[in-house]
Amino acid sequence: MASIRSTQVGQFLTVKKVAQVYGSNSKIQFLTNHTNRPGSNYPKVEDPNKILEVGMKVQITGKGKAQTKYRQSYVTVIDDRNNEFDIFASDLKRHFE
């Protein structure tokens, strides 16, 4: 089970729940749920290059502390399609093994 404390730069994580990369610009990109459920915080993306399927791997390229870029701590990762994005600490256990 992935957590901020146990993850290291260079480590690979495996997606265990479908997710998506979302962001309003190229500098701020982060992981969210891939759902069209009413009341979800972010719209469902349709671009297949932004959807992470179960079994995909991402590599950790950095870690950030809470209150720096976001309210909570996060890891920065890159996938095999060269999408670089952040994963919040609260989403690590939910979306990754």
Q: How far apart are CA 96 and CA 41, in angstroms?
A: 20
67 belongs to a structural domain = yes
Residue 84: pLDDT band with limits 50, 70, 90: very high
Report pTM: 0.90
| Residue 14 predicted with pLDDT over 80 | yes
7 belongs to a structural domain = no
Residue 4: pLDDT band with limits 50, 70, 90: confident
- The larger pLDDT score, comparing residue 55 to residue 4, is at 55
Looking at residue 29, what is its pLDDT?
Answer: 94
Mean pLDDT of 67-94: 94
Strands 57-64 and 12-14: antiparallel
Q: In what order do the strands lie in the sheet with 30-33?
A: 12-14, 57-64, 74-79, 84-88, 30-33, 19-22, 51-52
- pLDDT tens-digit readout, 56-74: 999 999 999 999 889 999 9
| Residue 24 predicted with pLDDT over 70 | yes
Looking at residue 1, what is its pLDDT?
Answer: 61
Range of the domain at 43: 12-95
4 belongs to a structural domain = no
Domain count, the chain: 1
